[in-house]
């Protein structure tokens, strides 16, 4: 029996109190607030369950089992664990004294094989027109930042959008905790490593990002930018590594840019604020904003915005290309409406035609402009 098979069997044993939910495709999140208080998120709505672990010790044993697999520690000196299960589900655990009410465990589940853009169209997350537009932007090597709050589906959208990267390209994926599994065959996956109790052996995202640039990547995909690595990513985008994809926690496209600017200033490289702002404005081409609607639990793209530089006051210029339009509710409480083009064209509206991508333009024709020559189109 392989090491992976042994771990999978041990996980099934230790997590058996919530095993039913781990196998239920309709459950996207399992939240253990303490050993005898367990909630789930099903189809976007929270539910209290009757499930419970036998004791606090049983829950802690399950968490130690997961930590051992990923080679990380969780103890009173290191009370927070980020890890993953054999199926790729994301695990976060917090133990006392950091958690006052007892041990907490949260498991974010992902669809087998990852969601596709067609899946997201079916869920109402994105329209066919916006889907085609985003896929063309990826092929045009635009730098795309996916923005949203916790639980809005940023990682799922990142995985779906990345499918538009041509299969012949070399892709480096960098994550804090490995979740993405891209469909392309030529991929390298890097994962942050936490230092041991003596401070040895740690590798952070910034170090991984710098190493990746020496490996001749065609694309770099950063699961989430959250620290000083933002500056490295921005400068890489500006120096030939275009077509990068990443996610960030923010509530609007403009907020996403401000947060990226702030994170870049957290680097050990001292740069003036106006330089950081100018670099962000030049590096990021598109921001895709995701939101979760509490009324029905749906997750939707609410805006697709182009970054067009800085204005006279050195503030970000952001142009909405798509915006969500709501039209009411169905009889079962589901929100009606969807993403629609605003009528604005991107500044790169002629590029698909210049790059011979005419045949790929079906639903989003209104956003693009054919190249006009003296002899016509």
3-state SS of 190-242 is EECECCCCCCCCCECHHHHHHHHCCCCCCEEEECCCCCCHHHHHHHHHHCCCC
What number of CA atoms fall less than 13 Å from residue 370's CA on the CB side? Answer: 10
Domain assignment of residue 10, yes or no: yes
266-271: list long-range contacts, CB under 8 Å, 24+ apart: 266/227, 266/228, 266/230, 267/206, 267/228, 267/229, 267/230, 267/231, 267/232, 268/228, 269/231, 271/231
Domain assignment of residue 377, yes or no: no
Number of independent structural domains in the chain: 2
Statement: residue 1 has pLDDT above 70: no
The C-alpha torsion from 125 through 130 and 133 to 138, rounded to 10°, is -20
Q: Which of 108, 131, 148 is the last residue of a domain?
A: 108
Q: Are residues 76 and 158 in the same domain?
A: no
Confidence at residue 180, expressed as pLDDT on a 0 to 100 scale: 87
Residue 113 pLDDT level (bands cut at 50, 70, 90):
low
Q: Which of 108, 135, 165 is the last residue of a domain?
A: 108
Q: For residue range 288-340, list pLDDT tens digits in order.
A: 999 999 888 889 999 999 999 999 999 999 999 999 998 888 877 788 888 99
pLDDT (mean) for 180-190: 92
Statement: residue 101 has pLDDT above 60: yes
DSSP state of 43: T
How far is Cα 16 from Cα 224, in angstroms, rounded to an integer?
A: 31
Neighbouring C-beta atoms of residue 162, cutoff 10 Å: 21
Strands 299-310 and 316-329: antiparallel
Backbone angles phi, psi at 81, to 5 degrees: -125, 130
Domain assignment of residue 374, yes or no: no
Q: Are residues 68 and 198 in the same domain?
A: no
Q: Are residues 287 and 318 in the same domain?
A: yes
Whole-model pTM: value is: 0.86
Q: Which residue has the higher pLDDT, 114 or 120?
A: 120
Does residue 364 contact residue 344 with C-beta atoms inside 8 Å? no
361-369: list long-range contacts, CB under 8 Å, 24+ apart: 361/132, 361/136, 362/132, 363/128, 363/129, 363/131, 363/132, 364/129, 364/130, 364/132, 364/133, 364/136, 366/129, 366/341, 367/129, 367/133, 367/321, 367/341, 368/136, 369/345
Q: Are residues 137 and 94 in the same domain?
A: no
Domain assignment of residue 148, yes or no: yes
Q: Which of 108, 139, 168 is the last residue of a domain?
A: 108
- Read off the tokens for 14: 């230790």
How far is Cα 348 from Cα 369, in angstroms, rounded to an integer?
A: 9
Q: Are residues 59 and 149 in the same domain?
A: no
End-to-end CA distance of the chain: 63
Peptide bond into 97 cis (omega under 30): yes
Confidence at residue 17, expressed as pLDDT on a 0 to 100 scale: 96
Q: Are residues 79 and 227 in the same domain?
A: no
Does residue 103 contact residue 81 with C-beta atoms inside 8 Å? no
- Read off the tokens for 127: 């329209």
Domain assignment of residue 372, yes or no: no
How far is Cα 35 from Cα 31, in angstroms, rounded to an integer?
A: 10
Residue 105 pLDDT level (bands cut at 50, 70, 90):
very high
Looking at residue 273, which CATH number applies to its domain?
3.40.50.300
246: closest CA among 125, 157, 352?
Answer: 157
Q: Which residue has the higher pLDDT, 311 or 376?
A: 311
Domain assignment of residue 248, yes or no: yes
Confidence at residue 241, expressed as pLDDT on a 0 to 100 scale: 86
Domain assignment of residue 132, yes or no: yes
Q: Are residues 154 and 17 in the same domain?
A: no
Q: Are residues 160 and 307 in the same domain?
A: yes
Statement: residue 343 has pLDDT above 60: yes
Domain assignment of residue 311, yes or no: yes
Percent of the chain with pLDDT over 70: 98
Q: Are residues 70 and 161 in the same domain?
A: no
Q: Are residues 301 and 340 in the same domain?
A: yes
Q: Are residues 255 and 359 in the same domain?
A: yes
Does residue 142 contact residue 65 with C-beta atoms inside 8 Å? no
Looking at residue 57, which CATH number applies to its domain?
3.30.450.90
Strands 171-175 and 144-148: unpaired
> Residue 20, SS3?
helix
Domain ranges, residue 92: 3-108
The C-alpha torsion from 41 through 45 and 51 to 57, rounded to 10°, is 50
Confidence at residue 376, expressed as pLDDT on a 0 to 100 scale: 52
Q: Are residues 138 and 72 in the same domain?
A: no
């Amino acid at each position: 029996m392989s090491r992976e098979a042994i771990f999978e069997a041990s996980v099934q044993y230790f997590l058996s109190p919530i095993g039913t939910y781990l196998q239920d495709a309709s459950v996207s999140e399992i939240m253990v607030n303490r050993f005898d208080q367990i909630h789930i998120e099903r189809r976007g709505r929270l539910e209290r369950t009757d499930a419970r672990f036998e004791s606090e010790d049983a829950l802690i044993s399950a968490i130690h089992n997961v930590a051992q697999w990923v080679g990380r520690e969780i103890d009173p000196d290191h009370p927070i664990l980020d890890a993953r299960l054999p199926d790729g589900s994301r695990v976060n655990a917090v133990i006392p004294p950091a958690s006052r009410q007892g041990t907490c465990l949260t498991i974010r589940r992902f669809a087998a094989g990852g969601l596709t853009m067609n899946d997201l169209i079916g869920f109402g997350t994105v329209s066919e027109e916006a889907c085609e537009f985003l896929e063309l932007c990826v092929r045009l090597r635009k730098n795309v930042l996916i923005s949203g709050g916790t639980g809005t589906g940023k990682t799922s959208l990142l995985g779906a959008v990345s499918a538009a990267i041509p299969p012949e390209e070399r892709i480096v994926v960098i994550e804090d905790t490995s979740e993405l599994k891209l469909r392309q065959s030529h991929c390298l996956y890097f994962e942050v490593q936490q230092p041991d109790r003596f401070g040895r052996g740690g590798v952070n995202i910034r170090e991984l990002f710098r190493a990746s640039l020496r490996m001749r990547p065609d694309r770099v995909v950063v699961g989430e930018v959250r620290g000083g690595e933002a500056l490295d990513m921005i400068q890489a985008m500006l120096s030939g590594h275009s077509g990068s994809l990443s996610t960030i926690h923010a509530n609007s496209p403009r907020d996403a840019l401000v947060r990226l600017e702030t994170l870049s200033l957290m680097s050990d490289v001292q740069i003036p604020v106006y330089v950081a702002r100018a670099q962000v404005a030049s590096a990021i081409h598109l921001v895709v904003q995701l939101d979760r609607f509490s009324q029905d639990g749906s997750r939707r793209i609410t805006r697709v915005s182009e970054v067009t530089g800085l204005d006279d006051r050195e503030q970000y210029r952001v142009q909405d290309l798509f915006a969500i339009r709501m039209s009411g509710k169905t009889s079962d409480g589901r929100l009606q409406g969807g993403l629609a083009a605003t009528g604005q064209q991107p500044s790169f509206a002629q590029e698909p035609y210049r790059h011979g991508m005419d045949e790929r333009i079906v639903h989003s024709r209104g956003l693009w402009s054919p190249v006009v020559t003296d002899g016509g189109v």
